[in-house]
Amino acid sequence: MGEIISGKELSKEVREEVRLEVESLKATYGAVPHLVVVLVGNDPASESYVKAKKRACLKAGMESTIIRKESDITEEELLDIIINLNNDKGVHGILVQLPIPKHINENKIIDAILIEKDVDGFHPLNVAYMHLGRPCILPATPKGIMTMLKSKNIELKGKDALIIGRSNLVGKPAAMLLMGQHATVTIAHSRTQNLKEKCLQADIIVAAVGRAHTVTKDMVKPGAIIIDVGVNRVDGKLIGDCDFNDLKDITSFITPVPGGVGPMTIASLLQNTIECFKGIVQK
Ligand code: GUN
């Protein structure tokens, strides 16, 4: 029987640590970290993520502001908002919720965020630092995955890790972080051939491809570790990229959906907001 790594439980611990650190920062600096989230348009999923981020900040004793803009905002107007936030000494973290409307160049927006306030770790300089293994802000989802693995003292050195998904938000950074811990990493994606064979060789599978039940029992070696990043809505239910019910008995560790990686993403964002705050006030 596989052990479930509960992101719901672990994220509570991380959030409590964050809350205590915020108290201590407040005592030292007379200020608390302030995260500003910019939400463009009214995508329901983005709306609920953004609300959850704000709620988590407030519970941790941080400040949080949501700037809402209509989807017809121009690129120049959005850039102006970012520049004002960059210059605002009372703002320590800036997050532009993705996706943004197609008429706006996403790269231009991400590039405009001051690296010191880039809580997402999406700025190209942060990405470069991560690839070089230098200190930097790590993207929240892969950071949360690493925290989950560490919480169970899972040895990564020399292990075969298969990442399914090559996104900039999850797949690519997760590969770098696992490699940084000396895992042997393979990246598969939606067009990979012989996915089953590759899965069967893996000691650790990180599924982040966004397709419900891509990984099934016949594809997984007994004792493997499964990290499921997928969030797929099927018949009104949230379902991961892995078939949790079938897999939980043959894996050594597995994350559920919901209540797995998702809550860890928010907890990691709070940690990043603290890091940005400290980087700014201790400069
Ligand atoms: N959209 C989905 N996940 C994320 C995230 O981690 N950060 C931002 N900015 N947008 C997202």
Q: What is the mean pLDDT of residues 116-143?
A: 97
What angle do the packed helices 7-29 and 140-151 form, to 10 degrees?
110
Greater confidence, 283 or 91?
A: 91
Is the shortest distance between the CB of 120 and ligand 1 below 6 Å?
yes
- Mean pLDDT for 62-85 is 98
Dist CA 87 CA 90 (whole Å): 9
pLDDT band at 63 (very low <50, low <70, confident <90, very high): very high
Q: Atom 9 in ligand 1: which residue has the minimum CA distance?
A: 97
**Rounded Cα distance, 124 and 143, in Å:** 17
CA-closest candidate to residue 90, choices 121, 109, 64: 64
pTM of the model: 0.97
Identify the pLDDT of residue 182: 98
Mean pLDDT of 143-161: 98
Q: What is the mean pLDDT of residues 178-204?
A: 97
Per the omega criterion (within 30 degrees of 0), is the bond before 99 cis?
yes
Taking residue 73's Cβ as centre, other Cβ atoms within 10 Å add up to: 18
Give me ligand 1 centre to Cα 167, in Å.
12
Residue of 54, 97, 143, 198 with catalytic role = 97
- Mean pLDDT, rounded, for 48-66: 97
Ligand 1 centroid to 154 CA: how many Å? 27
Does the pLDDT of residue 1 top 90, yes or no? no
Please work out whether the CB of residue 138 comes within 6 Å of at least one atom of ligand 1.
no
Task: Give the mean pLDDT of 72-83.
Answer: 98
Question: Can you tell me whether residue 205 is helix, strand or coil?
Answer: strand
The predicted structure's pLDDT at residue 2: 85
Ligand 1 pocket, 52 CB below 6 A?
Answer: no
Find residue 36's DSSP bridge partners.
Answer: 65, 94
Token representation of residue 30: 């007379």
What is the set of domains in the chain, with CATH numbers? 30-122 (3.40.50.10860), 140-261 (3.40.50.720)
Output 185-191 pairs: Cβ under 8 A, ≥24 positions apart. Answer: 185/161, 186/160, 186/161, 186/162, 187/162, 187/163, 188/162, 188/163, 188/164, 189/164, 189/165
How does DSSP classify residue 117?
A: G
Residue 90, pLDDT > 80, answer yes
C-alpha atoms less than 13 angstroms from C-alpha of 80 in its C-beta half-sphere? 6
Q: How far is residue 202's CA from residue 145's CA, in Å, rounded to a whole number?
A: 17
Query: Distance from the CA of 194 to the center of ligand 1, in angstroms?
Result: 30
Indicate the pLDDT class of residue 65, thresholds 50, 70 and 90.
very high
> What pLDDT is attached to residue 190?
87
What pLDDT, on the 0 to 100 scale, is given for residue 208?
98
97 is catalytic: yes
| Banded pLDDT at 206 (limits 50, 70, 90) | very high
Q: Of all atoms in ligand 1, which is nearest to the CA of residue 141? A: 6
3-class DSSP state of 20? helix
Active site residue 53: yes
Q: Which atom of ligand 1 is nearest to the CA of 99?
A: 1
120, 228, 241, 243: the catalytic one is 120
Q: How many Cα atoms within 13 Å fall on the side-chain side of residue 59?
A: 15
Known catalytic residue: 201? no
Give yes or no for residue 133 having a pLDDT over 80: yes
